[in-house]
Amino acid sequence: SAVISQKPSRDICQRGTSLTIQCQVDSQVTMMFWYRQQPGQSLTLIATANQGSEATYESGFVIDKFPISRPNLTFSTLTVSNMSPEDSSIYLCSGTGGTNTGELFFGEGSRLTVL
Binding site for another protein (CB under 8 A): 1, 30-31, 33, 41-43, 45, 48, 92, 94, 96, 101-109
Label residues 39-62 b or e (16+ Cβ within 10 Å = b).
Answer: eeeeeebbbebebeeebebeeebe
Least Å distance, CB 89 to another protein, is: 13
**Alpha carbon separation from 74 to 23, 24, 27, 33, 71 (Å, rounded):** 8, 6, 6, 12, 8
Of 11 and 108, which has the nearer Cβ to another protein? 108
Q: Judge if the upstream peptide bond of residue 67 is cis by omega within 30 degrees of 0.
A: no
Least Å distance, CB 105 to another protein, is: 7
Of 51 and 81, which has the nearer Cβ to another protein? 51
Of 17 and 103, which has the nearer Cβ to another protein? 103
Least Å distance, CB 32 to another protein, is: 10
